[in-house]
Amino acid sequence: MDLKEIKRLIEMVEYAKISHFSIEYDNKKIEIKKESMPILSPSSVVMSPVSVPSTPVESSLQSDRLPDHDPLLIPIKSQMVGTFYTSPSPDSPSFVKVGDRIEIGKVVCIIEAMKLFNEIESEISGVVEKVCVSNAESVEYGQDLFLVRIG
């Protein structure tokens, strides 16, 4: 089987309603598996406005309340479970603070997961209105880390 035939098999599995394909011939085996859940790229994710709860989580970084149901406030959410850090080291300044203007791709924090330090980049541009998590606090997947006013 040549490369062209293998590519054709991959395409067939991609569009078929199966998640696994395996073939064996001449003591050779080809196995193709596809993810059961779609993988979303940042450009395919649609951000929708969220409302701030009427009893927001108080943060030592900002304690004033934000208006409820503000369509211009978009959260930056945690992409994993881990420990949230505002700066690269304890003696370094924070990546961002309330009032900072951020652009797409700007590192806004670090989340430590399983001894790996993952830089979290902003997927939106705007002004940081609220830091929702305290430094060195545990975070869950999907938890709001920052609220950013777009525009």
Angstrom distance (rounded) from CA 28 to CA 72: 56
Give the Cα separation of 64 and 14 in Å (integer). Answer: 50
Question: Which pLDDT does position 11 carry in this prediction?
Answer: 67
Burial class (CB in 10 A: 0-12, 13-18, 19+), 58: exposed
The whole-number pLDDT of residue 126 equals 95
- C-alpha distances (whole Å) from 12 to each of 54, 58, 68, 103, 132 are 51, 52, 49, 40, 46
Which class does domain 68-150 fall in?
mainly beta
Q: Nearest-CA neighbor of 69 among 89, 54, 83, 90?
A: 54
pLDDT of residue 1: 67
Provide the 8-state DSSP code for 57.
P
Element (H, E) at 16: none
CATH 2.40.50.100 intervals, the chain: 68-150
pLDDT in tens, the chain (151 residues): 666 677 677 766 666 667 777 777 778 888 777 665 444 445 444 555 554 454 444 444 444 454 456 788 999 999 999 999 999 999 999 999 999 999 999 999 999 998 899 999 999 999 999 999 999 999 999 999 999 998 7
